[in-house]
């Protein structure tokens, strides 16, 4: 079967402002690449259209022409919440011009919403719930739709929800993602600025699932188990990226990369004894990153470790990220940096229960840590997250899917009087971090290391200057703490 898999452009910035997200950080759509590789291994002909890629064209008609030029039998869309409508507009136009093409949607938004989407969106023929590789392969093979686990479909006017798909037990059975299908990979798929020294870079995911119960996290696709690729498989994937594409830095986007200690010890042994000349970034869990582990990661070539911290208010941490304490965070950051690794903190603003006072606590805590980098996202409720059912108790929610991208405040806690106030608080405290003299001193010492990021920023300076202006507090905002 001929298949085109589509990564919709979606709505990835703030309404009325220029979208520069792909300029700042263009990630390969790893989920689609994994499915593409699996389908090709099963004997199907697969093309990928990345509407956020470096050679992407703009406009619905132009992208539909590209899809139809491949003469597919099936078009598959991987949809986030903010990208769903963009994908659906493409699907509608495809159905208008080539009604024989079957349309299937998958991804976290689809897996959390379920069959109700078929009731509302007639151009979609199938929904793929959960992991997509086996479900799509069986659909492409022409198996009886009533017997394909994980599929939601129409039987005339009746919506049929098949039994859930059992997750792939052995992740080593998956082929390497089909990176080669991305035009411009890897040089035009840039990692976040200043998160790397060597380039080009790429991304990997080496595990699926998470046993933790953070309030804001939607686990509709990979659920709460924890499955992982063997260290030998991960090492082979890194070597493949190096030898096939010349990749020199890999960001590992696992939620819990270091959870299985035996796996990481073996991987580090491989990287130390058979070095690839690459560097890596990953995330660690506060309180679960002892000195021996950190030293192994350093010796294996890791550069930066990220910590999901979310809030500097201990009471909010108990609600939204149980099992993490501020004391553990402080200790973990200190020990990361003591091993000459870089520590990046990941935070959220606008959580249910947040107030101006709790946001100030978070800002003060951020500044106390001496982090090498920081990311502050805007809390966005997602349908499959534990907090979803109680949102009305905690604030006002604008359920505009197009704005639900962690870059807009769509939820305003009762403790904050307006979205505008939240934006003011956000801009003030983000600027506070990057204006800090100590952070700037640390950054200046690394300018030469980060010359590739600097040259990239200079080439795209108008875009980055426009983004910088978004963080300029208006007069009358909170005082800037420096």
pLDDT tens profile 141-160:
999 999 999 999 999 989 99
Find the mean pLDDT for residues 35-50.
98
Q: Which residues does residue 349 pair with via DSSP β-bridges, in sequence order?
A: 378
Find the mean pLDDT for residues 430-448.
96
Confidence tier at 221 by pLDDT (50, 70, 90): low
Percentage of residues in the chain with pLDDT exceeding 90?
82
Q: What is the pLDDT of residues 249-286, one digit of tens each?
A: 999 999 889 989 999 999 999 999 999 999 999 999 99
CATH number of 191-469: 3.80.30.20
**In this structure, what are the phi and psi dihedrals at residue 436, rounded to the nearest 5 degrees?**
-65, 130
- Domain spanning 2-161: CATH 3.40.50.2300: yes
Q: What is the pLDDT of residues 316-355, one digit of tens each?
A: 999 999 889 999 999 999 999 999 999 999 999 999 999 9
Domain with CATH 3.40.50.2300 in the chain: 2-161
- Asked if the model's pLDDT at residue 411 lies above 50, the reply is yes
Q: How far apart are CA 468 and CA 405, in angstroms?
A: 19
Q: What is the pLDDT of residues 51-62, one digit of tens each?
A: 999 999 989 999
> Can you give the pLDDT at residue 224?
62
Confidence tier at 222 by pLDDT (50, 70, 90): low
Between 240 and 259, the higher pLDDT residue: 240
Percentage of residues in the chain with pLDDT exceeding 70?
94
Domain with CATH 3.80.30.20 in the chain: 191-469
- Asked if the model's pLDDT at residue 470 lies above 80, the reply is no
- Asked if the model's pLDDT at residue 476 lies above 60, the reply is no
Q: Where are the beta strands (DSSP E) in 111-270?
A: 126-128, 151-155, 158-161, 201-204, 207-208, 227-228, 249-252
Confidence tier at 214 by pLDDT (50, 70, 90): confident
Confidence tier at 482 by pLDDT (50, 70, 90): very low
Q: Where are the beta strands (DSSP E) in 362-446?
A: 373-378, 395-397, 411-413
Q: How far is it between the farthest Cα atoms of the chain? A: 66
Give 84's Cβ-side CA count (13 Å radius). Answer: 24
DSSP string, 434-479: HH-HHHHHHHHHTTTTTHHHHHHHHHTHHHHHHHHHTT-PPTTSPP
- Asked if the model's pLDDT at residue 478 lies above 50, the reply is no
Q: What is the mean pLDDT of the chain?
A: 92
Confidence tier at 479 by pLDDT (50, 70, 90): very low
What value, to the nearest 5°, has the Cα angle with vertex 59 and ends 57 and 64?
Answer: 85
> Can you give the pLDDT at residue 474?
46
> Can you give the pLDDT at residue 480?
35
- Asked if the model's pLDDT at residue 477 lies above 50, the reply is no
């Amino acid at each position: 079967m001929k298949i085109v898999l589509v990564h919709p452009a979606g709505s990835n910035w703030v309404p009325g402002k220029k979208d520069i997200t792909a300029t700042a950080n263009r990630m390969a759509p790893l989920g689609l690449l994994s499915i593409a590789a699996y389908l090709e291994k099963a004997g199907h002909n697969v093309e990928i259209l990345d509407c956020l890629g470096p050679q992407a064209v703009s406009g619905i008609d132009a992208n539909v022409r590209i899809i139809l030029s491949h003469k597919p039998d099936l078009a598959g869309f991987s949809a986030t919440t903010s990208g769903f409508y963009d994908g659906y507009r493409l699907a509608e136009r495809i159905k208008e011009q080539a009604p024989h093409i079957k349309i299937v949607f998958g991804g976290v938004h689809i897996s959390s919403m379920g069959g109700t989407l078929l009731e509302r969106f007639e151009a979609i023929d199938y929904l793929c719930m959960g992991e997509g590789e086996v479900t799509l392969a069986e659909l492409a093979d022409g198996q009886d739709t009533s017997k394909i686990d994980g599929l939601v479909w129409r039987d005339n006017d009746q919506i049929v929800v098949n039994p859930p798909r059992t997750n792939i037990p052995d992740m080593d059975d998956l082929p390497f993602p089909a990176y080669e299908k991305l035009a411009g990979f890897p040089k035009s798929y840039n990692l976040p600025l200043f998160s790397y020294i060597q380039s080009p870079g790429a991304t990997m995911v080496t595990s699926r699932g998470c046993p933790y119960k953070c309030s804001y996290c939607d686990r509709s696709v990979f659920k709460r188990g924890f499955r992982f690729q063997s260290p030998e498989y991960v090492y082979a994937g890194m070597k493949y990226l190096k030898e096939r594409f010349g990749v020199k830095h890999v960001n590992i986007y696992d939620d819990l990369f270091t959870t299985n200690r035996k796996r990481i010890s073996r991987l580090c042994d491989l990287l130390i004894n058979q070095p690839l000349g690459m560097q890596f970034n990953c995330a660690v869990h506060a309180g679960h990153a002892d000195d021996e582990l950190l030293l192994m990661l350093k010796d294996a070539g890791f550069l930066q470790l990220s910590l999901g911290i979310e809030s500097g208010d201990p009471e909010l941490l108990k609600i939204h990220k149980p099992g993490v304490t501020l004391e553990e965070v402080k200790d973990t950051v200190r020990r990361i940096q003591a091993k000459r690794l870089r520590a990046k903190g990941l935070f959220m603003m606008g959580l249910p229960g947040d107030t101006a006072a709790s946001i100030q606590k978070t800002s003060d805590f951020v500044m106390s840590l001496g982090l090498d980098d920081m990311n502050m996202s805007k809390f966005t409720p997602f349908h499959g997250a534990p907090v979803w059912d109680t949102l009305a108790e905690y604030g006002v929610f604008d359920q505009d899917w197009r704005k639900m991208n962690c870059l807009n405040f769509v939820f305003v806690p009762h403790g904050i009087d307006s979205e505008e106030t939240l934006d003011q608080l956000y801009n003030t405290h983000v600027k506070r971090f990057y204006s800090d003299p100590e952070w700037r001193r640390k950054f200046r010492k690394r300018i030469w290391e980060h010359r590739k990021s600097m040259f990239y920023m200079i080439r795209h300076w108008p875009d980055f200057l426009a983004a910088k202006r978004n963080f300029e507090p208006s007069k009358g905002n909170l005082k800037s703490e420096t």
